[in-house]
Structure 1
Amino acid sequence: MREIFFNVKTFIILWLGQLFSAVGSAMTYFTLTLWVWQKTESATAIALILVFYQLPQVIITPLTGILIDRTSRKQLLIISDTGSAFCTISVGILAFLGTLQVWHIYLIASVIGCFGNIQSLTYSTLIPLILPEKHHTRASSMGAMVVYGAGIISPALAGVLFPLIGLFGITLIDMGTFAIAFCFILMIHIPHTIKQDQEKVNHLSNLTFGFRYIYSHPELLSMVIMVSLFSFFNDISETLYQPMILAKTDSNSQILGIVVAGGGLGGVVGGLIVSVWGGFKKLRRGIFTGFLGTGISILILALASLPSFWIIARFAWSFHHPLMMSSYMAIWYAKIPHHLQGRVFGADYLIGILVTTCSSLTAGVLSDRIFEPLLQSQYSLPSGSGMAFLIAISATIIILVSSKVANILD
């Protein structure tokens, strides 16, 4: 009982540190989105921030998986947070000097992506090391709450502070939250994994191990295929909904900030419910419910024209994410031994990166080159209608996919 208490305490300290860091990072990202939109008014330009963030991870993810299985995970967290902090302050310095360009943001996003890859993958493998299996679903939902919790206050704070202190001031706040997270990591003890597979293998075998493991386990493979299909169309909507709102509201950052904050609140409420309740006993049902609820919520957001409906839809969209992802991760924690999770999770993460990158590029190109020009020139619809139409198509496909989920997972 004493050991469980200290393990829970360790997780809470780690979780609080990540929450502080996420608040600062979300403020910086929201501010950069506004800055890039003001400079370009292009959905593709905004989508490229995420693309450049993810592209280097295609190369680094398999190596990260090996590092996690072979290296101190606490050291990896310290390295990743320190590297991200230096990248963030470099953006602020360039903005302070008046020399910041859009391509600078893309370049720095690529470097941050590498450190973020190490941080995200390492954190995902810590839950089964620290907590017993019965708490895995709750802990996973709390991980989702970090992202959405930051989404509640970060857009509002960034929207108010950006005109007052500029991008440099926002990055200083981000640095402060990094420092808090860094101190919290130093406070805790993270156990090492027992390396049970020490036989000599060549480097190529190590790099491809995670993919081979997933392929050899049909249940994991079916979940990867299913979630990848969902993620592709969900990420199209994620990429486009902010520029859609900016286009429809004449770049009103306050409305966008409230909608984003509504999404953060939805994620926190969903995470709290799962944390208290513990989630579905049949984890597959949690995945199905998350899929269907997400599709319906995105469709409402796409079809609505009033900010109040955008807020409600974004709340419901985010509400279903902790339910879906906590169920998904709980299955993986149960199916994969601790000493293999770095490489297997790395393979799954890499697949997710490729899907999201393709999705973001597809969203930007289809929006700027096809749907926006077509609906404005041929049908005289207002700016943002093309993006809304593309989001509605994506939502409809998600709903159709959800109807097949139960059969795939049986």
Structure 2
Amino acid sequence: MTTHWKKAFAILFTGQIFSILTSSMVQFSIIWHLTETTQSAIVLTIAGLVGFLPQAILGPFIGVWLDRWNRKTTMIAADSAIAFFSLVLGIYFYLGDPSLGFVYLILMVRSVAAAFHAPAFQASIPLLAPEDQLTRVAGWHQMVFSFSTVIGPALGIAVYSATSLGVVLFLDVAGALIANLMLLFVRINQPKPDAQQSPSFISEFMLGWRAFIKVRAIVIITLATAIFSLAFMPLATLFPFMTLSHFGRGGYSASLVEAVFSVGMILGGLLLAVAASKWKDITYICWSLIVIGLTCLACGVISSEAFYIFVVLSFVMGAAAPFFNGPYMAMIQRAYEPAMLGRVISLVTSVMLIASPFGLLLAGPIVEKYGVQSWFFWSGVVTVLTGGYLLTQFKRLQVNETAE
């Protein structure tokens, strides 16, 4: 049994590396292409929205279909759809430059397909791994995802610069085909539908919602996650601005910070996979938030001469992130019946995605008026308080190891 599930994940994650890597290459290359050809902030904003909003809006409802459909088939179909539309856009680029509207449409369709693929993948993990190994598997997944998203932009821009955007898009097709081929060798047993399940879409959605709110600990942590996303997610766009405006450094220094943060995430995912059974998942989550918050707070007070301290803090921040994301998903996977998992995962993912743009809307005026360090400082305060609150509630936040 031990050998079987580890072999299944080795095959599964090998395929996912190709899929996530090439998708990351495409996403970055398209944004870079739009930047080069239009030099318009409005165009980039629209591209970001059409690539993001479908996942945030459709997420809670997609879960119903995920729990109805075969999850392996859903992953293959979603990756195939992404590959097909990458192929269409790639051919279009070879024939001539497509209109912005067409590029937006492709980004939107890719986002819709991703909205099916990601939760179907997460909902399949408990069907493959033993329950006591879910946190370790989450560490592996964080490591694979971090590695692919770190290398992807660099490879994407290298291939784009040496050839064309069309070649990058064709590589995405190859990546999806490899992922699907590897997935064919993995057996995923479809969970039996809940006996109470109704054929009505609304009834099934409400069953998923009621299942979600029954596990109080997950509800509280999800609300904490929304607060964390509101405060922390804008930093993804503020790191380069911090490097430029506060430290007075250029693109090389900004890329160094991004690389160090990403390397921290990879190493953090590896450490989580090794040390998964040392503490409870909630302990990892609380201390991850506290460490992330303290590093943000420190970034908000360091002087303009302390750039390399900022680099070190960025590394620590990146290394702490998997200890929040991985255990949180493992807790969800343990707490709910597999037949409900698609709905629950889609729901909590949407909560995080919807919180992020509100954080961006708040961050813009505050940074404009008070400076970029102000957002680092106060996001750190909010994150530390969130982690501290969860830590003090530790005994009340015991998640059922089996579904209720």
Band of TM-score, shorter chain: 0.7 to 0.9
2:163 match: secondary structure: helix
TM-score, scaled to structure 1: 0.84
C-alpha spacing 1:298/1:323, structure 2 compared with 1 (3 Å): same
Q: Give, in whole Å, the separation in 2 of the partners of 1:32 and 1:249.
A: 29
The aligned residue for residue 404 of structure 1 is: 389
Structure-to-structure mapping, 1:257-336, within 5 angstroms: 257-300=255-298, 308-309=308-309, 311-336=311-336
TM-aligned CA deviation for residue 166 of structure 1:
3.1
Could you tell me how far 1:124 is from its partner in structure 2? 0.6
- AA aligned to 2:386 is V
Q: Deviations over 1:76-107 (max 9, x none)?
A: 01111011123334444455555356554443
Q: Distance in 2 between matches of 1:54 and 1:125?
A: 21
**Corresponding residue for residue 399 of structure 2:** none
The equivalent of 1:383 in structure 2 is: none
More displaced, 50-59 or 22-31? Answer: 50-59
- Aligned residues of 1:96 and 1:168 also touching (Cα < 8 A): yes
1:143–1:63 Cα change, 3 Å: same
Stretches of structure 2 lacking an aligned partner (at least 5 in a row):
397-404
Q: In 2 relative to 1, CA 204–185 (structure 1 residues): closer, same or farther, beyond 3 Å?
A: same
Distance across 2 between alignment mates of 1:330 and 1:91: 37
State the secondary structure of the residue aligned to 2:228. helix
Residue aligning to 1:71: 69
- CA deviation after TM superposition for structure 1 residue 288, in Å: 0.9
Residue of structure 1 in register with 2:337 after alignment: 337
Deviation at 1:231, TM superposition (A): 1.3
Q: 2:18 aligns with which of 17, 20, 24?
A: 20
Separation in 1, partners of 2:90, 2:255: 21
Shift of 1:304: 7.0
Deviation string for 1:29-75 (max 9, x for gaps)? 23334344444464x76555443223223443234212222211111
- Give the equivalent residue in structure 2 for 1:351: 351
- What's the CA shift for 1:134? 1.4
Structure 2 CA distance, aligned partners of 1:311 and 1:155?
A: 20
SS at match of 1:196: coil
**How far did residue 216 of structure 1 move?**
2.9
| Structure 1 position 209, deviation (Å) | 2.5
Q: Distance in 2 between matches of 1:301 and 1:34?
A: 28
SS at match of 2:121: helix
Equivalent pair of 2:87/2:169 in contact (CA under 8 Å): yes
2:186 corresponds to: 188
Scaled by the length of structure 2, the TM-score of the pair is: 0.85
Alpha-carbon shift at residue 308 of structure 1 (Å): 4.5
Q: Which residue of 1 aligns with 2:212?
A: 214
Say whether the 8 Å CA contact 1:147–1:264 is kept in structure 2. no
Q: CA deviation at 1:199?
A: 4.6
Aligned with 2:114 (options 100, 113, 116): 116
Measure how far apart 1:169 and its partner are. Answer: 2.7
The 8 Å contact of residues 263 and 316 in structure 1, kept in 2 or not, is answered as yes
Change (3 A) 1:245 1:46: farther
The structural deviation recorded for 1:230 is 0.7
1:83 and 2:81 aligned: yes
Q: 1:274·1:322 contact (CA, 8 Å) conserved in 2?
A: yes
Identity of aligned residues (%): 22
CA distance in 1, matches of 2:293, 2:244: 22
AA in 1 matched with 2:345? F
The Cα of 1:247 is off from its aligned counterpart by: 7.5
Q: What CA distance in whole angstroms lies between the structure 1 residues aligned with 2:184 and 2:245?
A: 44
Query: CA contact under 8 A between 1:155 and 1:261: conserved in structure 2?
Result: no
Q: Which moved more, 1:399-408 or 1:31-40?
A: 31-40
Q: Which residue type is aligned with residue 321 of structure 1?
A: A
CA contact (8 A) 2:293 2:383 kept: yes
- Provide, for residues 298-338 of structure 1, a one-character-per-residue CA deviation record: whole Å limited to 9, x for no partner: 44556575764554333222211211122212222221111
For 1:65 and 1:336, the matched residues in 2 are separated by 13
Q: For 1:56-205, what aligned pairs fall within 5 Å after superposition?
A: 56-96=54-94, 99-100=97-98, 104-197=102-195, 199-200=197-198, 202-205=200-203
The more displaced of 341-350 and 131-140 is 341-350
Over aligned residues, Cα RMSD in angstroms?
A: 3.0
Query: What is the letter of the counterpart of residue 78 of structure 2?
Result: S
Measure, in 2, the Cα distance between the counterparts of 1:51 and 1:88: 19
Q: Can you list the C-alpha shifts for 1:269-318, whole angstroms capped at 9, x where unaligned?
A: 11111111225422211011111222233445565757645543332222
1:394 is the counterpart of 2:379: yes
Unpaired runs of 5+ in structure 1? 376-385
Q: How many residue pairs align between the two structures?
A: 392
2:135 touches 2:281 (CA, 8 Å); kept in 1?
A: no
